[in-house]
A and B are shown apart, each in its own frame.
Chain A
Amino acid sequence: MIQKELVETLRALNRADKLHVMQLLVSELAREEIDLIQPGLDYPVWSPYAAFEAGDAMLEVLAAEAQDHA
């Protein structure tokens, strides 16, 4: 939550200082984005991409189940 005093302080700044604050915040946000993924660390990817063998087996199970219910 942005403090009311902070907003008032920012509003009271002159144009140059407002631009400076804006640039500072944009730089901070860009840095935080980069920091989300750290070099040298592993990040899990749970999505079973290209699990074709499993997919084929599952379709067989589904077909067998459909036959049982037919």
Chain B
Amino acid sequence: MRNPERYPFIVADTMLGEASLRPYLPLTLAYGDESVPTAGLLDTGATVNVLPYQIGVQLGGEWEQQTTQLRLTGNLAQVEARALVVSATVAQFEPVRLVFAWTQATDIPLLLGQINFFMEFDVCFYRSQLVFEVQPKEVAS
């Protein structure tokens, strides 16, 4: 069993201080020959992973080639989204395939949700200590 990686909560707005602390996970996304180092918000309430439009473009994704259209909820329901599968690497762990709802929205964080980030990684939040730990799921032998 691998040791989990530990990360601090990040202040998203210095004016708000502790009220704005968020669990952002650094990770590298890859698609084709392109890779983009970024950070995703661990969002246990999100049904799906969400990829902001500009990161998909940086990865070389071509909107018209993604044929699976998705209907999201909340504020994202107003914006078109399509499925995009990319490779994601967290810390020194093996890369995993993550499927994203690639949205045309640009003013949102990259969201890591139940499908399928939390299907691939076990996460433990220690909010009182302002840290969280991440490790790949255990594969039954």
Contact = CB atoms under 8 A, between A and B. Distances in A.
Interface size class of A (residues with CB under 8 A): 20 to 34
B115 interface: yes
Contacts of B109: 46
A54 B97 contact: no
B43 A59 contact: no
Interface string A54-70: 11011111100110000
Given A46-B50, A48-B47, A52-B47, A61 B68 contact: yes
B70 interface: yes
Q: In which size bucket is the chain B interface?
A: 20 to 34
A61 B71 CA distance: 14
Contacts, number: 91
Interface in A29-56: 33, 36, 44-55
Interface in B13-71: 16, 19, 43, 45-50, 68, 70-71
Contact of B99 (A36, A46, A49, A62): A62
Given A47-B43, A48-B47, A54 B75 contact: no
B69 to A, nearest CB: 8
A56 B117 CA distance: 14
B48 A54 contact: yes
Contacts of B99: 58-59, 61-62, 65
List 9 tightest A-B contacts by C-beta distance, closest first. A54-B70, A51-B47, A55-B115, A61-B83, A62-B99, A44-B75, A48-B72, A51-B73, A58-B99
5 contacts: A33-B19, A48-B113, A49-B45, A51-B70, A51-B73
Interface of A: 33, 36, 44-55, 57-62, 65-66
